[in-house]
């Protein structure tokens, strides 16, 4: 696809005066891009081989705090370096920034040059390799919903983050007229992504005032996670350039719908056949697909911390707002945590609807894949389909209600410990617990408003 570069085409673009800057970045625990801006000449000279970053980048929170309690690094360990190794297959143009290219990096141990096991990209690579060793290519698409505001981020910093003005005044689900008004942002986003070699399918208005969705064509799971972080970056940067702001928070307002990142998944054989499809079977679902889904359902509660990583994420799981509350499966049913789509066709897939737009796509895909592969390896049997309105299904498997509960389930997951390793599970359990500790400590606007006069 156009937009992708290699060292020769980057050199040619540099010599033609088209590109002068290369963003060298690795996804962090939150799925954000962290790194440095290289002059293209220096990148072409030596930067393409490796650079370095402080290893606290995989041990901080949203605020870049040096969080205590991690084994990977600490003040005692002196917060040394990781090596950032550009994955040149991700080198691409960034059409929405002048003269700029981007490359994503893997993080390696500064001394041994082994992949850092807790690095989100390494975690996903390992699960993809597991699937490939079984003979399957894991394919996925991560839909992204987000809210657009007329305020700039700077304006919100000055006036307070509650002074939000959503870009539209009404639920704009599939609305062409309202989304026409949002085209300065969305057209630039679609075309910018296309020009960066990200195969954008479409964007649409979503089911809340000011809410948009963007869809990227499904691809190999690692590439899909790369597309996801690039898409978020593009959305923020293009919005910023237009004096707007966007949020990927799972629930920015309890009175409004939340933002999801549904993960569509399928396995393909090495020779490119849809391994989930079997003619004549119920909905066309092959035994392989049934086992994969059985694994995801059995372990759904343990992996939720990777689909909903913040305290706020759990406020999205409420009745009647299209976010699921039950980890059960159903055919084309938007009230279920797992929805089977593309019945009887090559597009047959399972859509996990649990994840919020705040998920880290590497971790979410890795956890989902690990659960699905466990189902295949153990030949698990798929439970019966549930039908109707799942919100009211009293005895159906509940999605954890809080991050506190999800962190306990993550910590106790033998499946995740076997698949990802103890260090990874302990690290991300600590990350979840830190979010809970901070939330327990901080006094919020809501408490002040209720208590100041009346308590």
Query: Which residue ranges make up the site for ligand ADP (CB under 6 A)?
Result: 139-141, 201, 215-218, 264-266, 341, 347, 349
- Please state the closest distance from residue 367 (CB atom) to ligand ADP, in A: 17
- Please state the closest distance from residue 390 (CB atom) to ligand ADP, in A: 17
Q: Give 118 or 141: the residue with its C-beta nearer to ligand ADP.
A: 141
Q: Give 140 or 354: the residue with its C-beta nearer to ligand ADP.
A: 140
- Please state the closest distance from residue 350 (CB atom) to ligand ADP, in A: 9
- Please state the closest distance from residue 101 (CB atom) to ligand ADP, in A: 25
- Please state the closest distance from residue 218 (CB atom) to ligand ADP, in A: 3
Q: Give 60 or 265: the residue with its C-beta nearer to ligand ADP.
A: 265
Q: Give 97 or 348: the residue with its C-beta nearer to ligand ADP.
A: 348
- Please state the closest distance from residue 281 (CB atom) to ligand ADP, in A: 16
3-state SS track over the chain: CCCECCHHHHHHHHHCCCCCEEEEEEECCCCCEEEEEEEHHHHHHHHCCCEEEEHHHHCCCCCCCCCCCCCCCCCCCCCCEEEEEECHHHCEECCCCCCEEEEEEEEEECCCCCECCCCHHHHHHHHHHHHHHCCEEEEEEECEEEEEECCCHHHHHHHCCCCCCECCCCECCCCHHHHHHCHHHHHHHHHHHHHCCCCEEEEEECCCECEEEEEECCEEHHHHHHHHHHHHHHHHHHHHHCCCEEECCCCCCCCCCCCECCEEEEEEECCCCECCECCCCHHHECHHHHHHHHHHHHCHHHHHHHHCCCCHHHHHCCCCCCCCCECCEEECCCCCCEEEECCCCCCCEEEECCCECCCCHHHHHHHHHHHHHHHHHCCCCCCCCCCCCHHHCCCCCECCCCHHHHHHHHHCCHHHHHHHCHHHHHHHHHHHHHHHHHHHHCCCHHHHHHHCCCC
Q: Give 206 or 435: the residue with its C-beta nearer to ligand ADP.
A: 206
Q: Give 139 or 305: the residue with its C-beta nearer to ligand ADP.
A: 139
């Amino acid at each position: 696809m156009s937009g992708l570069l290699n060292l020769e085409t980057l050199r040619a673009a540099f010599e033609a005066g088209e590109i002068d800057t290369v963003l060298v970045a690795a996804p962090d625990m939150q799925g954000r891009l962290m790194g440095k801006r290289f002059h293209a000449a220096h990148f072409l000279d030596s930067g393409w081989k490796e650079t370095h970053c402080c290893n606290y980048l995989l041990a901080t929170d949203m605020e870049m705090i040096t969080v205590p309690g991690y084994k990977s690094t600490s003040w005692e360990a002196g917060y040394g370096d990781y090596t950032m190794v550009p994955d040149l297959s991700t080198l691409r143009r960034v059409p929405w920034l002048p003269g700029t290219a981007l490359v994503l990096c893997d993080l390696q141990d500064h001394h041994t040059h082994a992949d850092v096991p807790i690095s989100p990209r390494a975690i996903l690579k390992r699960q993809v390799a597991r699937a490939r060793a079984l003979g399957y290519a894991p394919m996925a698409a991560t839909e992204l919903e987000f809210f657009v505001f007329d305020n700039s981020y700077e304006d919100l910093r000055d006036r307070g983050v509650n002074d939000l003005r959503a870009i539209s005044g009404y639920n704009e689900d599939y609305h062409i007229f309202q989304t026409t008004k949002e085209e300065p942002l969305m057209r630039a986003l679609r075309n910018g992504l296309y020009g960066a070699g990200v195969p954008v399918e479409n964007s649409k208005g979503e089911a809340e005032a000011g809410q948009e969705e963007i869809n990227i064509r499904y691809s190999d799971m690692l590439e899909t996670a790369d597309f996801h972080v690039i898409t978020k970056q593009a959305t923020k940067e293009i919005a910023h350039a237009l004096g707007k702001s966007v949020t990927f928070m799972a629930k920015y307002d309890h009175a409004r719908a939340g933002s999801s990142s549904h993960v569509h998944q399928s396995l393909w054989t090495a020779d490119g056949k849809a391994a989930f499809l079997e003619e004549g079977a119920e909905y066309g679902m092959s035994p392989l697909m049934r086992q994969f889904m059985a694994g995801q359902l059995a372990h759904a509660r343990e992996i939720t911390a990777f689909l909903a990583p913040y305290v706020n994420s759990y406020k999205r799981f409420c009745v009647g707002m299209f976010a699921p509350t039950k980890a059960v499966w159903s055919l084309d049913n938007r009230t279920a945590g797992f929805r089977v789509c593309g019945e009887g066709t090559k597009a047959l897939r399972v859509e996990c609807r649990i994840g919020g737009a705040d998920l880290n796509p590497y971790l979410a895909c890795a956890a989902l894949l690990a659960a699905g592969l466990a189902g295949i390896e153990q030949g698990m049997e798929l439970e019966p389909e549930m039908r109707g309105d799942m919100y009211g299904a009293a005895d159906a498997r509940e999605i954890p209600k809080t991050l506190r509960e999800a962190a306990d389930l993550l910590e106790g997951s033998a499946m995740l410990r076997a698949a990802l390793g103890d260090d990874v599970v302990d690290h991300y359990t600590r990350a979840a617990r830190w979010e809970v500790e901070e939330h327990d400590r901080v006094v919020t606007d809501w408490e002040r408003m209720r208590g100041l006069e009346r308590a």
